[in-house]
Chains A and B, each alone.
Chain A
Amino acid sequence: MRAFGDYNPRITAIYFAIIIGISMLCMNPVLQCLSFLGGLLYFVISDEDGLRLKTHAFYGAVFLITALINPLVSHNGVTVLLVVNDNPITLEAVIYGVFAALAIVTALYWFRCFSGVMTSDKLLYICGGLSPRISLVISMSLRFVPLFRRHYREVRLAQTALGVYKDETFGSRLKGGVAVFSSMVTWALENGIVTADSMTARGYGTGRRSFFSDYKVRKNDLIMLFIVVCLGVVTILSIAVGALTVDFYPAFCWKGLSGWSVSGVVAFGLLCFIPVFVEIGEKIKWHFLTLKI
């Protein structure tokens, strides 16, 4: 049983770097859609929040707002839909807005997956080789996010019990939220100082930091690395030769089908769905293993 997250952290890190890098830097509709689907599916399969409607509703709201803002702000484009205050609202701006919003949401999903897979010990392992000091700082700041969240929940529960926090209406929720947040800020500052003092008292920073981790590179890891790098290189090359370049302004225009563009899209599609394949493959394997028992 080896899920995608159980591969060597260096390989998962390379994978995420390639995927997130390409989906943020290349504004190609097909690549964006593939990356979005891959990220979403992997998130749904692997994360415990994957099936919570609230999480997806938040991303949906982000998508809608970003997509709506672009045509109101940018008026470039040849296909005019409406003219508002002498400024044209164009179809091209709407299309661009949709894909820019999709890029943001895609990146958010992939980062959710990333933080689910890359636990702090894995990050320590990756950065430890470079500098144990930096890895300490990174792991501490990453630890702070869930800590903050947990504490927020505690404070909110306490204040609700006291009757300070209400979430009946938008107004009261906002008010309560501000009260909780203000207490959180104070706590965070205090916590930072306390942590620093406590670490000094325990002798952090007096000697050279070393680190230990027992991640090994196995045969599977090398195979995965090879696949990821090959697919990544094909995609990046096809982007570099301009086969996947798409112009949104002033008129939507793409370069047409060519050997490069097809291979780039296929490679990137495979790359995006690697985690999903791995997870599903493992689930099937597990299913048959349990049948034998």
Chain B
Amino acid sequence: MNNKIKNNLKSLIIVIIAAMSFFSALSPEYCAAFSQSEVDGFFSENAGVFSEWYVIGLRQNAEGEIYDFSNYRAALLEYMEKNETVSASTRLKYALSLAACGNEDDINYINEILCDAYGKQGLMSYVFSLHLLNNGFECDGVGAEALVEKLLSFQLEDGGWAVFGANGDVDATAMTLQAFAPYYEENADVTTAVKKALALLSERMSEEGDFSSYGVYNCESTAQVIIALSALGIDCGNDEAFLKSRTSPVMALEKYRIDGNDFSHTKGGEKSHIASSQAFCASVAYERMKSGKGPFFVFDKIDPSIFETETPAVETACPVPETASPITPKGDKQQSEINVKTWICAGIVAMGGIICIVLIVAGKRNIKNFIVVLVIVAVGVGAVLVSDISLPEDYYGNETEQKNIVGSITLEIKCDTLGKPPVLEKTSFDIEAGDTVFDVLTRAAKKHGIHIEHSGTTAMSDSLAYVSGINYIYEAQYGDLSGWVYFVNGQKPSVGCGEYVLKDGDRVEWHYSLTMGNDIVK
């Protein structure tokens, strides 16, 4: 009895000492978080480059400190604006980081990214999408349960996940497990899958406690495993399965530390921001697990009032209309077209009159001079009378009267290639006999207040029409070969949009292409 108590005490003391030494070894540096000025300065400058992990880590810090990410958020939004063609996974990562900033204005934008990039780029895009869903973002037709099943179906024979290949990759497996964390205990399928994956990770761990990806033992893989295990509630500092020769992944990570918050990619290597940021996340995740907080990628709720009291940052970036910003008709609709034309004609005639007076004053009173002025004025007035001129109030938001409707078609204007939401969702329009693609486009623009620019048209004929810009997105704006192309029933016609005559039931799509239409997958 006495012995037993002694033994118990002994083991308790050992555990306490071990724990104390462990914490004394880890805690001081591990808790070395970053200051608000670093968030506003260094991290904001590198928004979109490597700051994302840091920001997520800071948002989730175990001490419950609250940072103001508004500077970083502005920088990231600007970065995303400038770098259009980032991959789907990267955009989802940015979305997650925006979500970490916690600004409510971004909710719709993040939802849009989720809808747009969901599953576009294999495993990683599913994983990040699931993270976003776990944080309450949503998109029609994307359910968390379906996504979990999808990810489960990707599990390889050996229990792991990989971006490509038949063998599980440590990083991919760990990152998938991180997304599974909220379902670990609820969903039986997930539980079995995770257990299998954990077995694989345990097997893949080196004697020194670190992990490799593509044959190289590195800091990032180890960090990802720590995040995954911590999210699942496994204490990888003490878990049997992850203690080989008494070194745990947490200790292994220490070996990559250079100084303070700096880590290297491989042991003894140079400082790497990617390694440092992921190691920072690992430390945060581990701390969270220790203090019993939720999974790393499910953001803690922040009282929104904190953000409301803050003064808004000075808007320096010029906003570009992301979505279709309809030109809203305003003012009364009483003014008729004739009124505008009369004013313009009066202006031209007045200019002619001024020139005539100048001629008289200058002493060039030959009758032929006045005839020339008269002819020029007549041509000007004629051009005005022939053109269709109307005020925007009268023009936009109105339906064109149609008499001989012969059927209806659907029209869609998309710019997926830029990762932007569609300018016009699939909408159906009635057509008259002889209506061309161009006619329908102008009618749609008129009705929905969409900006378009075209050339080659006259008041008489549109057969040479060329559409150079829709919704302020212009040809050649994103590379020499970029521009608007149209498809009818999935085919790219070889005639101009002013010549293609539509028939009932046609499906017209306008796409912004970066390579003269070759990148639009049908």
Scan residues 342-385 of chain B and give those whose CB is less than 8 A from a CB of chain A.
364, 366, 368-369, 372
Q: Contact at B321–A83, with CB atoms within 8 Å?
A: no
Please, which residues of chain A bring their CB within 8 A of the CB of B442?
A: 86
Interface string of B445-487 (1 = CB under 8 A from A): 1100001111001110000000001001010000000000000
Any chain A CB within 8 A of the CB of B327? yes
Complex Cα gap A60–B262 (Å): 63
Please, which residues of chain B bring their CB within 8 A of the CB of A74?
A: 453
Any chain A CB within 8 A of the CB of B495? no
Scan residues 16-47 of chain B and give those whose CB is less than 8 A from a CB of chain A.
none
Q: Contact at A250–B372, with CB atoms within 8 Å?
A: no
Chain A: which residue is nearest B446 at the CB level?
A86
Complex Cα gap A47–B368 (Å): 36
Pick the residue among B319, B388, B472 that contacts A86 (CB under 8 A).
B388
Q: Contact at B314–A256, with CB atoms within 8 Å?
A: yes
Any chain B CB within 8 A of the CB of A140? no
Known: A78-B451, A256-B314. A84 touches B389 (CB 8 A): yes
Pick the residue among B327, B366, B387, B452 that contacts A169 (CB under 8 A).
B366
Known: A76-B474, A86-B457, A169-B366. A250 touches B451 (CB 8 A): yes
Please, which residues of chain B bring their CB within 8 A of the CB of A170?
A: 368-369, 372
Please, which residues of chain B bring their CB within 8 A of the CB of A256?
A: 314-316
Interface string of A233-273 (1 = CB under 8 A from B): 00000000000000101110101100000000000000000
Any chain B CB within 8 A of the CB of A87? yes
Cβ contacts A to B, 8 pairs, < 8 Å: A76-B469, A86-B442, A87-B454, A88-B451, A168-B364, A253-B319, A255-B318, A256-B315
Q: Contact at A168–B366, with CB atoms within 8 Å?
A: yes
Chain A: which residue is nearest B462 at the CB level?
A86
Any chain B CB within 8 A of the CB of A207? no
Complex Cα gap A192–B368 (Å): 39
Scan residues 41-84 of chain A and give those whose CB is less than 8 A from a CB of chain B.
74-76, 78, 80-84
Q: Contact at B364–A253, with CB atoms within 8 Å?
A: no
Chain B: which residue is nearest A249 at the CB level?
B472
Q: Which of B127-135, B178-186, B292-300, B390-398 contacts A (4 or more CB under 8 A)?
A: B390-398
Complex Cα gap A82–B337 (Å): 10
Any chain B CB within 8 A of the CB of A85? yes
Pick the residue among B318, B446, B453 that contacts A76 (CB under 8 A).
B453
Known: A78-B321, A87-B453, A87-B454. A250 touches B340 (CB 8 A): no
Pick the residue among B316, B320, B368, B389 that contacts A82 (CB under 8 A).
B389
- In order of increasing CB-CB distance, the 7 nearest A-B pairs are A250-B472, A169-B368, A253-B318, A80-B392, A75-B453, A83-B395, A247-B318
Number of interface residues of A (CB under 8 A): 25
Complex Cα gap A256–B319 (Å): 14
Complex Cα gap A172–B446 (Å): 49
Q: Contacts A84-B389, A85-B388 given; 5 further ones with Cβ under 8 A?
A: A74-B453, A82-B391, A83-B391, A86-B442, A169-B372
Q: Contact at B390–A83, with CB atoms within 8 Å?
A: yes
Chain A: which residue is nearest B327 at the CB level?
A80
Complex Cα gap A227–B163 (Å): 61
CB distance from B305 to the nearest CB of A (A): 28
Known: A171-B368, A247-B318. A84 touches B388 (CB 8 A): yes
Scan residues 172-209 of chain B and give those whose CB is less than 8 A from a CB of chain A.
none
Q: Contact at A83–B458, with CB atoms within 8 Å?
A: no
Please, which residues of chain A bring their CB within 8 A of the CB of B392?
A: 80-83, 88
CB distance from A144 to the nearest CB of B (A): 32
CB distance from B205 to the nearest CB of A (A): 49
Please, which residues of chain B bring their CB within 8 A of the CB of A83?
A: 388-392, 395-396
Q: Contact at B320–A250, with CB atoms within 8 Å?
A: yes
CB distance from B496 to the nearest CB of A (A): 16
CB distance from A245 to the nearest CB of B (A): 8
Complex Cα gap A250–B390 (Å): 21
CB distance from A250 to the nearest CB of B (A): 4
Q: Contact at B368–A255, with CB atoms within 8 Å?
A: no
Q: Contact at A78–B388, with CB atoms within 8 Å?
A: no
Name B residues whose Cβ lies closer than 8 Å to a Cβ of A.
314-316, 318-321, 325, 327, 340, 364, 366, 368-369, 372, 387-392, 395-396, 442, 445-446, 451-454, 457-459, 469, 472, 474
Complex Cα gap A170–B374 (Å): 13
CB distance from A275 to the nearest CB of B (A): 33
Known: A168-B366, A255-B316. A85 touches B457 (CB 8 A): yes
Complex Cα gap A74–B454 (Å): 9
Interface string of A73-111 (1 = CB under 8 A from B): 011101011111111100000000000000000000000
CB distance from A278 to the nearest CB of B (A): 37
Chain B: which residue is nearest A167 at the CB level?
B364
Q: Contact at B387–A84, with CB atoms within 8 Å?
A: yes
Chain B: which residue is nearest A169 at the CB level?
B368
Please, which residues of chain A bring their CB within 8 A of the CB of B319?
A: 251, 253
Complex Cα gap A168–B392 (Å): 45
Complex Cα gap A80–B329 (Å): 10
Complex Cα gap A49–B368 (Å): 31
Please, which residues of chain A bring their CB within 8 A of the CB of B325?
A: 78
Please, which residues of chain A bring their CB within 8 A of the CB of B452?
A: 86
Please, which residues of chain B bring their CB within 8 A of the CB of A88?
A: 327, 392, 451, 453
Please, which residues of chain A bring their CB within 8 A of the CB of B327?
A: 78, 80, 88
Complex Cα gap A247–B320 (Å): 10
Please, which residues of chain A bring their CB within 8 A of the CB of B391?
A: 82-83
CB distance from A100 to the nearest CB of B (A): 17
Complex Cα gap A170–B459 (Å): 31
CB distance from A260 to the nearest CB of B (A): 11
Please, which residues of chain B bring their CB within 8 A of the CB of A247?
A: 318
Complex Cα gap A89–B460 (Å): 19
Pick the residue among A75, A82, A169, A172 that contacts B340 (CB under 8 A).
A82
Complex Cα gap A30–B266 (Å): 53
Please, which residues of chain B bring their CB within 8 A of the CB of A85?
A: 387-388, 457-459
CB distance from A92 to the nearest CB of B (A): 10
Please, which residues of chain B bring their CB within 8 A of the CB of A87?
A: 453-454, 457
Please, which residues of chain B bring their CB within 8 A of the CB of A168?
A: 364, 366, 368
CB distance from B483 to the nearest CB of A (A): 15
CB distance from B512 to the nearest CB of A (A): 15
Please, which residues of chain B bring their CB within 8 A of the CB of A78?
A: 321, 325, 327, 451, 472
Please, which residues of chain B bring their CB within 8 A of the CB of A80?
A: 327, 392, 395-396, 451
Pick the residue among A169, A171, A251 that contacts B318 (CB under 8 A).
A251
Complex Cα gap A76–B472 (Å): 6
